[in-house]
Structure 1
Amino acid sequence: MSLPQPLPRVPSLEEIVPMMSRIINAHNAIRELILKTVTPITATFDNVLLPLAQVENNIQGELGMIYMLQYGSPSLATQAAFDEARKLYLEAEASWKADVSFFRLLQAASAKPDFHKLDMESQHLMEKKLLEYKHAGHGIPEDVELEKYRELEMKIAGLEMQFQQNISRETGGVWFSTQELDGVPEDELAKWIDDGPEGEETTNGHQRKKFVPFANGGTLAVLTYANSPETRKKMFLADNLKLKDNKSIFEEIVTRRARKAQMLKHNTHAEFRIESRMVKTTEWVKVFLDGLRETLCGHGRDEIGALQCRRLEDLANQQNPDPSVGFPPWDKRYYERVLQQEFEVDQLKISEFFPLESTATRMLDIFGSVLGLRFDPIPAEDLTQDVIWHDTVECFSVWDGKDDGFIGYLYFDLLWRENKYRGNQSVNIQCGYLRPDGTRQYPSTILMCSFPTATPTSCALLKHHQVVTLFHEMGHGIHDLLAKTKYTHFHGYRLPPDFGEMPSTMLENYCWREDVLHGLSCHFTALNDNYLAEWQKQHPDQPNPPTKIPEILVKPLIKHRYSNRGLYHLYQLSISIFDLQLHSLSTESDIANLNVQKMWYDLREEIEGMDFSECRDGFAFGTFTHLTAGYDVCYYSYLCCTAMAQDVFLSVFSDDPFNTDVWDKYRRGILECGGSPKDLLRTLESFLGRPPNMNALAESMTRAKEERQS
C-alpha cells in the first residue's frame, strides 16, 4: 500500500540553522502582512489569528524535527546547532509576543460580536493566544519594565537548557571491586568496563574493578542487587553528589521565575503557571495534595516498617549493628526486591520474558486490537539517514483497520546512548491538523526512551516496572496519533499535563493483568539460537525455559501489585509539594533566603519517612529534569492523573478491558479531542456520565491493603 505522506526528513547539521531562519521568516511575513492590512476596527478571527494559525500549522513539522534533535541526536555538533537555532527562535518568539500592535488586533478580534459564533476550538485558540501574550508581559505598564521582563524570560530559557544539557552529558560513576559487586547479575556486570583483562589483578594487588556509571541503569542495578550495604551506600551517595553545578543554576531559575511572575502582578510563580493548567488554582492543588498526604503517609509508614524489619534482621545476622536512626534511602530498592522475592516475585526471572523489542511490538498488537489499528513496519532499506537520526531507530506506518485510512507514523527510539535524553518520553515531530482545503496533515511521533542496552550474551530485557513505563509512553504516542484537531496548538497530548497524563496512566492497569503479561511475553532465548546456547551454559542440567511467562511468576506479581506502592506515590507527593512550595515564594525575603537543598531533603524525609541525614550535602534535585522542562508547578499532575485514571479504569474498563465498543467511545470522546476542549474536566465528566472521583487513588490503595489483610 502506498503511503499518502512521506516520512519527515531529518535536516543535516548544515541545514538546521537555515531551516530555523526560514521558519522565522514565514512567521514574520504573515505578521507583517496582517499588521499592514488589518486595523482594530476591521480585525476578525479570520483575518488576524487564522492566517497565523495556518502558518503555525505549516511550519510545525520542521520545527518539531529540529526540537527533536536536542533529545535524539548522538552528535554534539548537531546539538550545538540546535542550541543556536533555538536561540534564534526564542529571540523571534520574544519579539512577536512583544508586539503590542498585534496584541491589540487579537484583543479587537476577540471582542467582535461574531467571535462567539466560531467553533469552540477556534474560540479556545484565541483565548490561549491572548494568555500567551499576557504571560509575555502585556499588562506591564512601562516599556522599560517590559524590556526587563523579556530579558528575564530569555535568561531563564538559557538556564533551563544548560541544566538539561548538564544532565544529558553527565558521565560519572564509581569503581568497585568484583567482590563489592557481589549479588549484581552477570548481565549487568558485563555492560561495565574493567580496569584490566579477565582474571588479572591490578598493580596494587586488589581485585579487578568495574566502572559502574550512574547512567544506563548503573546506579539502579547496584542499589537493587548489591549484597553489600556499604556498596549500596557508596553508590547512592556518589550519585547523590553528581551535577553539583546544577544547584546554582536551579536556584537562579527559581528566583528569576519568582521575579518574573511578580512583574506580571502575580503573587507567585505558582499562581502564574496555574493559569495554563487544567485546575486553574493553586488552592485546588494544595487541598488535593494535603488530602493525599493524610491518606498515603500511613501506607508509607507501614511499608518502611516492613523494609526496616527485614533490614535489621540482616544486620543482626551479619553481627553488624544499625548505626543509623532510621531507614536509609540507599537500602530501599534492595529490600523492596528482597520482600518481593519472599512474596515469590522474582524480577530478574520475569525480565527474561520481556525482551525490549518483541515486548514493544506485542504492545502494538494490543493497541491494534482494542482501537482497530494496524502497524506496518517500514522496511529497513527505506530508513535512510535523511529520515532517521540513529541506526537503531525503527518506524511504523499506522492505519485504521476499519477503512484502511492512514493515521500517521510511529517511531521507536528505545535504547540508551551517549548524549541522548536520559528519561522516557513521547516526542511529537509532526502534529496533525486540518488544511484549508479540508484535507488532513497526518502526525508523526516518537517513543524516545533510554532503556538500558543489551549485554554481550543477551538482548535488552525489561523489568516489570519498565514494561509499565513503556506501555505508558506508548499510550502517549497512540494519543498523539489519534488526535483530530483543526490546529497544531491542540494536537495530541498538547494539553495541560494535569489532564494529559491521565490516558497513559489509565493504561498502566493493563500491565498488571495476567492475560496481558502472558500475551506480551516471549523468553529471550526463543529469539536467537545464540541466546539459548548461552543460557544453557549458565543453566546446565535445566530444561529450556518456556516461551511464555508461566503462571508461577505472574500470579505473585499481580497479587502483590500494591506492595510498596505507597512509597512510590509518596515519592511523587514529596516532589509535588516541593514543586509547589518552591514556586510559591512571594516576598523578597523568601526569594533571598531560598535554600533548595534543605527544602528538597526536608520534604523527602518528612513525606517518605526515610533517614536522609547523610545525604543532605547532595544535589539530587539537580538531576530532576521535569522542573526545568515545562513541568514546573505541574509535578502534581502524575498524582492527579493517577486518581482520574483509576476512576476511569475501574468504572469503565475493568469489567471488560478489551471491549472494542468502549474503546471506540474512549477514542472519540477523549483521545481524538486532544487539547481542544476548553474545560477538560467537563470532557471527562461527559465521558464518565458524572464528575470524576479524585479520591480513587487513595481508595484503591486502601482497598488493596484490606484485601491483603483479609
Structure 2
Amino acid sequence: MFQLPRVPTTDQILPLMHQIIDELTQTRNSVLKATTPETATFANTLLPLAQTENAVQGQLAMIDMLQYGAPLRETQDVVHSALSVYAEAQAAWIANGDYFRLLRAVRDNREDFESLDAESQHLLERELTVYRMAGHGELDAEEVEGFLQEGANIGQIERKFQENISREDGGVWFTRDELEGVPASDLGKWKSDGEKEKEKLFVPFANGGTLAVLTYARRPETRKKMFLADNHKLQSNKPLFEKIIRQRARRAHQLHHSTHAEYRLQQRMVKDPKWLGGFLNNLKDTLCARGKDEIAVLQQRRVKDLGDKHDTDCVGFPPWDKSYYMRLVEEEVAVDQLQLSEFYPLEQTAIGMLGIFASVLGLQFEPLKADEGSLWHESVRVFSVWESTPDKQFIGYLYFDLLWRENKYRGNQSVNLQCGYLRPDGSRQYPATILMCSFPTPTPTSCALLKHHQVVTLFHEMGHGIHDLLARTKYVRFHGYRLPPDFGEMPSMMLENWCWMKEVLQGLSCHHTRLENSYLMEWRKQHPSSPDPPMKIPEDVVERLIKHRYLNRGLYHLYQLSISIFDLQIHSLKTDADISGLNVQKLWYDIREEVESMDFSECRDGYAFGTFSHLTAGYDVCYYAYLICTAMAQDVFLSVFAEGPFQKDKWEKYRREILQNGGGQQDLFQMLEKFLGRPPNMNALVEGLRRADSQH
C-alpha cells in the first residue's frame, strides 16, 4: 500500500506546480548536457524523462483534478493559473529542437530501437509524434515557438470556456401551477420566492433542473419556456468557441495538414478522416430512417394530447417535447422511470455495483476512513482495492465523489489521481482513481435516487475506474484509460450491458424507504391508501424494462451522431474562406434538425454548442468515439460475454488481454483482434438494433 495522496491547500498549489516543472526541466537539461545525436539511446535520452514523469504524475494529477472537484472558486482560480504555468513550461520544452534531434537519432538507431520492449517503442513513437505535431521537421525554431504559443493561447480560451460552464448558475422562475406534473422530490430542491398566494420556484438549469421540467412538466408552454431559456444560456461561450475552432484550423494549415481533423487524428485510433466520414455517413443512412419512425410515434402521442390545437401546433416536432413524450411512450409500454428510481438509492446501488465487479474480477473493495488532508470535500468516500486471492495483493484506491455541488464539474467522469507504473527498482506504484459524478442531490425527505439511465452512467464511469485500477504499464503515459478515446470508451460501454440484466437489476435494487424509518413515514404520508412498497423491484417491472431496452434508441444514437458530424465538420475547414465563413450557430442547428428529424426553427438563436464541454476538453475530433466504441463494445459483449456474463475465465482473459494493457499497445485494432480471434465488426451497433427489432 501507499499513503493516500494529499490534497494541497490553495496556497500550496502554485509552489507545488513550480516544483514539478523544475524537476522535469532539470531532467531535460541533464539529458541535453550529457547526450549528443551520436551517443543518444533510449536509456540516456527518453527513459530519464519517462521516470521523472512517472514520479511527478500523482502531484500533477491532484492539481488537475481540483479544477473539477475543488469546492471553492478561489482554489479553482489558482489551479487554472497553475495549469497555465504548466502549459507554458510544456511549450518551452517542446520548442527545444535539440531534444527533438536526440529523439530522432534514437529512433534511427535501429539496433537500439529493436532491443526495446513494445511499450518503450510505443513511448518513443508517441513522443516523436508530439514533437512533430509541434512543428519540428516542418518549421524553423522561431516558427515552432510561435506555433506552440498559439496552442497555449487556445488552451487558455478552452479553460475559460470550461470555467463559464462550471460557474453557470441561471434558471427560470415558475409558479407551482406551471410546474404541474414535476415530481415533489424535484420541487423540494428548488428555492422559493416566499410568496404565499402565487409562490414561485427557481428551477436551475443545473442539478437536473432542466431535465426534470422537460421530462415531467405537463404544460407544453412550461417545457418550451424552460428549453428556450436553457438554450440561450452561456452566450459568452459563442465567440470563445468560434475563436478556438478558427485558430485550430490555422495551426493545422501551418503544418501542411489540410484540416484540424487530419492533424488531430494522428493521436487517435482512427487515423483517416475519410474513413471516419464514411463511418458516420453509413450510420446516418441507416439510423435516420429509424429516428424518423421514432419521432413519428412521439408526434402521434403529442397530437393526441393537444387535441383541437394540433392542426396548428403539430407541423413539426419541437425538441422541448422530446423528453416528455419519450417518457410517456416508455411508461405506456414499459416502466415509469420515477417509480423505478425508488428502488435505486445512489449509495446502495454504487456499493452493489462494486460487489458485481468484485465477483467477476476477483476483487475486494474495503471502505477506508480518510483524514481531511486526503479529501477535497466532506462527501468524498474512499475504498482500498485488493485481489481476493489468499495472499490478498493490494491493487489501489477508488474514490467516490458522486453528488452535484456548487462549482463542481457538471458532467460525469472518471478522473485519475495516480497512475500505476514500474519504478526503477522494479517495484510498482499503485493507482488511485475517482468516480466524479454530478448526480442530483437528496431532498429533505429522501436520499439521492437514480433513474435507470443514471444507473447505466454509474456503470459506465466505473468501467473507466476499473480500467484505471487494473492496468499494469511501465509508464504513466499509457496507464489505464490513457489511450485514444476512440478505443478508451469501449470497456465502459461494454459494461453498460450488465445494466440490462434481470439478475443485476434485481440484485442491486432496494426500495429507499427501507433505508430509514423517516423515509418510510414520508412515503406513507404521500400514499395513505397504499401498502408499503416491496423491498426489491418487482420482477415484471424489470422484465418490461429489459424488453423495451431499444425503445427510442435510434434517437439516442442520432444525438451522438449529430454532435459527431458537427465535430468533424467544424474541424474540416480547408481554406481561409472556410475559416472566415464559419457559422457555428447555423451549422449546429442545421445538423441537429437534419439528423434528428426535429423542428429547431424557434431555437436557432440559441447557444447550445456553448454548453457542450467535450469539444474544448480534449475531445475535439473525437466525439465519434462513443459511436465507434459502442460498435466495438457490442461486438465484444455479444461474441464473448452474452452467453456467460459472469464467467470468471472470460473476465480473466479480458482483464489480461485488454484492461491490463492500458494504452501500452501501439495498434489497438490489432489488440482487439487478438482478443476476439478475428477482426472487429464495426457494424455491430446497427446490427444490434436490427437484432433487437427482430426479437420483438
* Fold similarity call, TM over 0.5: yes
* Distance in 2 (alpha carbons) for counterparts of 1:470 and 1:649: 18
Note the alpha carbon deviations across 1:124-183, whole angstroms, 9 max, x for none.
000000001111221233334223212211110000000000000000000001000000
Give the deviation of 1:324 after TM superposition. 4.9
Q: Please list the CA deviations of residues 193-226 of structure 1 after superposition, one character each: whole Å capped at 9, or x if unmatched.
A: 00116xx12xxxxx21100000000000000000
Alignment match of 1:474 (pick from 451, 462, 467): 462
Distance in 1 of aligned mates of 2:538 and 2:331: 16
Q: Where in structure 1 do 4 or more consecutive aligned residues deviate above 3 Å?
A: 318-322
* Residue number among 414, 431, 435 corresponding to 1:443 in the alignment: 431
Counterparts of residues 620-631 of structure 1 (less than 5 Å):
620-631=608-619
Q: Are the equivalent residues in 2 in contact too, given 1:247–1:619 (CA < 8 A)?
A: yes
Contact 2:440 2:448 in 1 (8 A): yes
Q: Which residue of 2 aligns with 1:579?
A: 567
- C-alpha contact 2:97 2:141 (8 A) present in aligned 1: no
Aligned residue in 2 for 1:301 = 292
Which residue of 2 is the match for residue 674 of structure 1? Answer: 662
Counterpart selection for 1:222 from 199, 209, 213: 213
Superposed displacement of residue 319, structure 1: 4.5
CA distance in 2, matches of 1:639, 1:586: 25
Query: Which residue of 204, 208, 216 corresponds with 1:213?
Result: 204
Residue 541 in structure 1 maps to residue 529 in structure 2: yes
Shift, 1:109, TM fit: 1.1
Q: Partners in 2 of 1:558 and 1:616 — Cα distance?
A: 37
- Maintained 8 Å contact 1:277/1:496: yes
Three-state SS of the structure 2 residue aligned to 1:193 is: coil
User: How many angstroms apart in 2 are the aligned matches of 1:649 and 1:144?
Assistant: 51
State the one-letter code of the partner of 1:600.
W
Fraction of identical pairs, as percent: 64
Letter in 2 for 1:352: E
Query: What are the within-5 Å matches in structure 2 for residues 514-663 of structure 1?
Result: 514-663=502-651
TM-score for the superposition, normalised by structure 1: 0.97
Mapped contact 2:414–2:434 kept (Cα < 8 A): yes
TM-score (normalised: structure 2): 0.99
**Rounded Cα–Cα distance in structure 2 between residues aligned with 1:150 and 1:625:** 23
1:243 and 2:214 are equivalent in the alignment: no
Q: Which structure 1 residue ranges, 5 or more long, are not aligned?
A: 202-206
1:355 maps to amino acid? P
State the distance in 1 between where 2:145 and 2:426 align: 41
Query: What pairs with 1:181-192 in structure 2 (closer than 5 Å)?
Result: 181-192=179-190
Residues of 2 paired with 1:102 and 1:376: CA distance?
A: 45
Q: Is the 2:489–2:629 contact (alpha carbons within 8 Å) kept by the matching residues of 1?
A: yes
What residue number does 1:387 align with? 374
CA contact (8 A) 1:503 1:645 kept: yes
Counterpart residue number, 2:39: 42
Tell me which of 329, 348, 357 is aligned to 1:367.
357
User: C-alpha displacement at 1:101, in angstroms?
Assistant: 0.6
Higher alpha-carbon deviation: 538-547 or 679-688? 538-547
Residues in 1 aligned to 2:84 and 2:625: alpha-carbon distance in whole angstroms: 29
SS at match of 1:194: coil
Q: What is the aligned partner in structure 2 of residue 204 from structure 1? A: none
Structure 1 contact 139–264 (Cα < 8 Å) conserved: no
Given the alignment of the two structures, is residue 352 of structure 1 paired with residue 335 of structure 2, yes or no? no
Give yes or no for contact 1:315–1:321 (8 Å, CA) kept in 2.
Answer: no
- Give a deviation string over 1:237-296, Cα, whole Å, max 9, x none: 000000001000000000000001111111100000001100111111111111111111
Instruction: Assess if the C-alpha contact under 8 Å between 1:626 and 1:635 holds in 2.
Output: yes
CA deviations 1:529-574 (Å, max 9, x no partner) are: 1111111111113211111111121111111100000000000001
Output the amino acid matched with 1:247. Answer: K
Which residue of structure 1 aligns with residue 320 of structure 2?
330
The 8 Å contact of residues 188 and 444 in structure 2, kept in 1 or not, is answered as yes
Contact 2:42 2:112 in 1 (8 A): no
Match of 1:492 among 458, 476, 480: 480
Structure 1 vs Structure 2 CA RMSD: 0.9
User: Shift of residue 80 of structure 1?
Assistant: 1.0
Conserved? CA contact 2:91–2:145, under 8 Å: no
CA separation in 2, counterparts of 1:496 and 1:146? 25
2:283 alignment partner in structure 1: 292
Q: Which amino acid is 2:581 matched to? A: N
The alignment partner of 1:386 has SS state of: helix
CA contact (8 A) 1:312 1:322 kept: no
Q: Judging changes above 3 Å, is the alpha-carbon distance between structure 1 residues 145 and 465 closer, same or farther for their aligned structure 2 residues?
A: same
Where 1:410 maps in the other structure, the secondary structure is: strand
What is the CA–CA distance in structure 2 between the aligned matches of 1:324 and 1:162, rounded to whole Å? 40
SS at match of 1:309: helix
Contact 1:353 1:548 in 2 (8 A): yes
Query: 1:645-676: per-residue Cα shift (whole Å, max 9, x none)?
Result: 00100110000100000000000000000000
Q: CA deviation at 1:321?
A: 4.2
One-letter amino acid of the structure 2 residue matched with residue 192 of structure 1: W
1:129 counterpart (127, 130, 134) = 127
In structure 2, distance between residues paired with 1:546 and 1:8:
42
Structure 2: distance between partners of 1:320 and 1:629: 42
Task: Output one character per residue of 1:399-458: Cα deviation in whole Å (capped at 9) or x when no partner.
Answer: 011231000000000000000000000000100000011100000000000010001100
Distance, in Å, in 1 between the alignment partners of 2:101 and 2:91 is 16
The residue number in structure 2 matching 1:100 is: 97
The match for 1:80 is 77
Instruction: Give the whole-Å Cα distance in 1 for the aligned partners of 2:634 and 2:25.
Output: 46
Asked if residue 179 in structure 1 is aligned to residue 177 in structure 2, the reply is yes
The SS at the match of 2:396 is strand
Aligned length: 694
